[in-house]
Amino acid sequence: MTIKNFSIEYDAINSRNTFTNGDTIAGRIIVEVSKEIHIKSLIFIAKAKAKTCWTEHYGQNVHVVLWADEKYYEIKHHILREGRQDGSGVIGRGRHVFPFTFKIPDGKIPSSFKASTGKITHRLKAELHQSMRVPVKAKTSFTFVSKADMDMPGLMEPQYGCKDRSVTFFGSGNISMEVHTERMGYQQGDALKVTAEISNRSTRSVKPKFVLYEKKSFFAQGRRRVNTNDILKQKIEPLASSSKQTVTKVISIPRELPPSILNCSIIKLEYRLKVVLDVSMTKDPKVKLPIVILPHRTGSVSKEQEAYSSKSLTAW
């Protein structure tokens, strides 16, 4: 095999190995050959796109595949081209390194995301083209995190919800609650303070529960698929009948929790805080409040400060 190694790699700029709008990615394409070869072109490609796909079943014989995609950018640079007078269309035996730089565009570009039903990818690719041969390709992905949208309506405003429920089955009375949070927007690791004012004017005891959960929505061809998953659950002591109580809980948002994705038309990652009053033999009253997880405000760091790198596997 003439081409022994063909790969692409890049240098990280911070300890999280993440990038955002306006960052410049520096890296290199590595070509190792056992003998001299002539090439038509060596191309660097950077692109980002979102894709959703799932199958819906109707009866035993009808299966419908739904899909959608959305592109955000695709940038190509010709590193080498055939026919240049400097002889760059010929690669001699040995290992060759071709550096590249790429500046991520500004704009509303969604963060990297991956699930079984959809994904948002940010990739760097390299293609080596020769006459009468199948192109040789290599690729690697990088983690992109959107900048926080601090202009989102209500982001730093208090959130409020209320609910009441009558108890009629083997009991009587009314149960109500009012739930408050300090704001809607939080960063990973922040403390989420929630206050619930609970009034139990029924003959039953109630068990308050606090749940932080994620909601993933996927859209394609006018249809939607939604998945939810509980992240944190906390319970408190039951509230006796004919009593009132104000409960304050502080929930620590996990540091590894991905930021919300609200700027993609086919994939959304949202978070909710749910307060539930567990009442036997009665539909549980619940209040849901929106939570927006904002990315860390980590700036770019020079290569000399942190020498992290990410390498791809060879792709043929």
Q: What is the pLDDT of residues 254-297, one digit of tens each?
A: 999 999 999 999 999 999 999 999 887 778 899 999 999 998 75
Give the chain's domain count.
2
Is 54 domain-assigned?
A: yes
Tell me the three-class secondary structure of 61-127, residue by residue.
CEEEEEEEEEEEEEEEEEEEECCCCCCCCEECCEEEEEEEEEECCCCCCCCCEECCCEEEEEEEEEE
- Two tokens, residue 257: 């929790």
Q: Does residue 142 sit in the same domain as residue 207?
A: no
Which of the four pLDDT bands, split at 50, 70 and 90, describes residue 316?
very low
Mean per-residue pLDDT, 81-110: 83
Q: What is the pLDDT of residues 136-177, one digit of tens each?
A: 999 999 999 999 988 899 999 999 999 988 877 767 888 999
Q: Does residue 246 sit in the same domain as residue 126?
A: no
pLDDT at residue 279 in the model: 85
DSSP string, 257-312: PPPPB-S-SSEEEEEEEEEEEE-TTSPPPEEEEEEEEEPP-PPP--TTT---EEEP
Q: Does residue 91 sit in the same domain as residue 226?
A: no
Domain range for 9 is: 3-147+304-311
Q: Does residue 192 sit in the same domain as residue 275?
A: yes
Q: Does residue 128 sit in the same domain as residue 180?
A: no
Q: Does residue 28 sit in the same domain as residue 85?
A: yes
Is 316 domain-assigned?
A: no
Residues paired with 38 in a beta bridge: 90
CATH of residue 127's domain is 2.60.40.640
